[in-house]
Amino acid sequence: MDNVKEILSDIRVIIAIAVLVVLLILWFIVQKLRSNKYRKQLQELEVKYNSIKSVPLSFKLNKAVAISRVDPDAMNKVAQTKDDFDKAQANLRQMSQTLAETEDAILVGKLRKAKNNLSDLKASVALGEKQVSDLDKFLDTILEKETAQREEVTVLKNQFRELKSEAQENSSRLSQVWPTVEQRISDTERMFSAFEEWMYASDFGKAKAELVNIKSSMASLKDMIDNLPTLLEDIAGVIPQLMQSVYSEYSESRKNGVYLKHLNIERRCADINNSLREDLAAIKGGDTSEVAYHLENYKEQLKEMDTQIHSECDCMEEVRKVAEATDKLFEEAQQNSEYVQKQYQKMSVRFGLEGLDDNIQQEVAALNELVARKPEVFKIYEAKETPASEVLAALNELNSSISGCNESLVDMKNKIDSATGDEDRAKKQLLKLQVIMNQMQVKIRKYKLPSISEQYEEDMNRANGYIHSLESLIGDTPLNVQLLNSTLKEAIDFIYKLYNNVNNVVATVAMVENTIVFGNRYRSTYSDIDSELTRSELCFRNGEYTQALSIAIGTIEKIHPGNYENMIKENAKSAA
């Protein structure tokens, strides 16, 4: 015991023990670190191993084998692939065993063995990744048809589910053809099942053909869902209502006497009704290819019938108006014809109208021909057995002809009336001029003008000359209308001007007399007033009426400034 104490008391021994303990601890730490490192590497390799193992090579190879049974081209490729698959599987088994051994080695501390195994595992994993990747890619090339078809059918299934849902939502609007829609849905579902069977059998050609059928069936189903509600509304509601409206218009128009037999409305409506039944049957049978076109055609036909009926009704109303107008035109034309012939016989020589003879005979002959045609056209109108459009055309032609004939007769009537009108106007104007001449002479005599200028005498003689010329021209045969009108114009201008001058002279004379009479009361009082008034009287007797008026007014203004206006008023009363 003492020896042990003695040894332990030796510092060198203590240091040696401490160093040994430290070395032991370091060893344990290093071992632990290595163990953790290897464990981590093992876990990483195990993840890669699981990733390699998770690739469904067996499933794909089985699919490829199945394909090779129906595809000779794929048979040799699949045979070679089997060998590669076996090698890959052997490598996987080896990796699995090495993983287990490495894990055990790490657990028991055989780190050297674990290190060697990890090195082998890395090589095996790298090889396995390459083998599996190459195999997977190669198998994918063999299975790419199936993959593409799987992806396509997945999209189609999603679309089909949406179509079924949409069909259910519109079931009330599709009630009349719901069995057809259900049948189309069932047929499409069977096609999907058939597709799966062909895919299971790896017959991708037939599966592809089934996809074409599925697409066609779904397109038909979509067309039903999208278009059938509208088509059914047209068949059951829109077109029958249009037909009823057309038939009502047809019946009402016939009651009003409109001829519509030529339009065959009843037969055309019956044909449309029968065709609607056929279209409804086609829809129930699943055939909608031509129905939409048919329905649009029916609508166009019904609109055309409605337009034709309204057109005939409008034509009928127009026929009544044109017939009435034509009848009045005939009456007017006959009156104008009689008037023209009668007036021409009476006045052709006097007014020089002999040039109208051929025109009158031509228009009278044309009128007689139209009068002969009129009963035939009006008989068609009154019978109401011919389309109004045709009757209107005939009436318009007759109306146009009689209108042209009547216009020619009116032109000739106006020419005759114009000639006789000039004579009548000249006679009336002559009478007025004679009255004016008489008025001038009466005024001159009434006011006892002490003197009148030689110019007035000449003017009066010239005016009387115009009167005599007009009387002579009016009495001539044939009547020279142009000379008569020009002479009448000159006479009117001259005589009216003379009349105004005489009125002015008479008014001046009256004012002079009134002024002198007014001033006579101041003659005895004012000598200069007497002198001026005497001078005014002298001018008055000499016919200098304007000078006399000026002197008289100037004289009165000296006594009563502003009284001149009162004298004017007095003069106006005297003139009235």
* pLDDT band with cut points at 50, 70 and 90 for residue 495: confident
**DSSP strand E in 97-158: where?**
none
Could you read off the pLDDT of 370-403 as tens digits, one per residue? 777 777 777 766 667 677 777 778 777 877 777 7
User: Are 124 and 248 in the same domain?
Assistant: no
Residue 297: inside a domain, yes or no? no
Residue 257: inside a domain, yes or no? yes
Token couple for 569: 């008023």
Residue 95: Cβ within 10 Å count: 23
Q: Is the peptide bond before 478 cis (omega within 30 degrees of 0)?
A: yes
Single residue among 378, 393, 425 that ends a domain in this structure: 425
Percent of the chain that is helix, strand, coil (3-state, to 5): 90, 0, 10
User: Are 45 and 149 in the same domain?
Assistant: yes
Range 132-137 contact pairs with CB under 8 angstroms and sequence separation of 24 or more: 132/52, 132/55, 132/57, 132/88, 134/84, 135/57, 135/81, 135/84, 135/85, 135/88, 136/55, 136/57, 136/60
Token couple for 301: 């036909």
User: Are 65 and 157 in the same domain?
Assistant: yes
* pLDDT band with cut points at 50, 70 and 90 for residue 82: low
- Average of pLDDT values for 109-123? 68
User: Are 274 and 317 in the same domain?
Assistant: no
Residue 292: Cβ within 10 Å count: 15
Nearest to 306 by CA among 271, 273, 263, 275: 263
Single residue among 259, 289, 319 that ends a domain in this structure: 289
User: Using alpha carbons only, what angle is made at residue 309 by residues 277 and 242, rounded to the nearest 5 degrees?
Assistant: 35
Could you read off the pLDDT of 448-467 as tens digits, one per residue? 665 555 667 787 888 888 88
pLDDT value of position 571: 47
Q: What does the alpha-carbon distance between residue 377 and residue 286 come to, in Å, rounded to a whole number?
A: 57
Q: What does the alpha-carbon distance between residue 33 and residue 30 come to, in Å, rounded to a whole number?
A: 5
Nearest to 434 by CA among 381, 470, 477: 470
User: Are 61 and 134 in the same domain?
Assistant: yes
Residue 359: inside a domain, yes or no? yes
% residues pLDDT > 90 (the chain): 0
The yes-or-no verdict on residue 33 having pLDDT over 70 is no
Residue 295: inside a domain, yes or no? no
pLDDT value of position 572: 46
Q: φ, ψ for residue 172 (rounded to 5)?
A: -65, -40
Gyration radius (Cα) of the chain, Å:
67
User: Are 123 and 23 in the same domain?
Assistant: yes
Q: What does the alpha-carbon distance between residue 353 and residue 355 come to, in Å, rounded to a whole number?
A: 5
CA dihedral 236, 242, 243, 244 (to 10 degrees): 90
Token couple for 488: 């009448």
User: Are 343 and 283 in the same domain?
Assistant: no
User: Are 52 and 135 in the same domain?
Assistant: yes
Residue 438: inside a domain, yes or no? no
* 126-140, 158-172, 239-253: segment of lowest average pLDDT: 126-140
Nearest to 184 by CA among 216, 227, 209: 216
Residue 167: inside a domain, yes or no? no
The yes-or-no verdict on residue 143 having pLDDT over 80 is no
Residue 173: Cβ within 10 Å count: 15
* pLDDT band with cut points at 50, 70 and 90 for residue 576: very low
Return left, alpha or beta for 257; rule: phi > 0 is left, psi -120 to 50 is alpha, else beta. Answer: left
User: Are 149 and 17 in the same domain?
Assistant: yes
Single residue among 289, 324, 344 that ends a domain in this structure: 289
pLDDT value of position 358: 61
Provide the number of structural domains found in the chain. 4
Could you read off the pLDDT of 466-482 as tens digits, one per residue? 888 777 776 656 656 67
- Average of pLDDT values for 258-285? 75
Q: Which residue has the higher pLDDT, 505 or 176?
A: 505
pLDDT value of position 539: 79
Q: What does the alpha-carbon distance between residue 509 and residue 517 come to, in Å, rounded to a whole number?
A: 12
Q: What does the alpha-carbon distance between residue 101 and residue 113 come to, in Å, rounded to a whole number?
A: 9
Most confident region among 46-60, 245-259, 280-294 by mean pLDDT:
245-259
Residue 442: inside a domain, yes or no? no
Could you read off the pLDDT of 421-438 as tens digits, one per residue? 666 777 787 788 888 888
The yes-or-no verdict on residue 1 having pLDDT over 70 is no
Nearest to 95 by CA among 149, 131, 148: 131
Residue 432: inside a domain, yes or no? no
* pLDDT band with cut points at 50, 70 and 90 for residue 30: low
**pTM beyond cutoff 0.95:** no
The yes-or-no verdict on residue 14 having pLDDT over 80 is no
Q: Which amino acid is at 470?
A: L
User: Are 208 and 262 in the same domain?
Assistant: yes
User: Are 524 and 569 in the same domain?
Assistant: yes
% residues pLDDT > 70 (the chain): 56
Q: Domain range spanning residue 548?
A: 447-575
Q: What does the alpha-carbon distance between residue 305 and residue 332 come to, in Å, rounded to a whole number?
A: 40
User: Are 249 and 329 in the same domain?
Assistant: no
Residue 487's Cβ-count burial label (10 Å; 0-12, 13-18, 19+) is middle
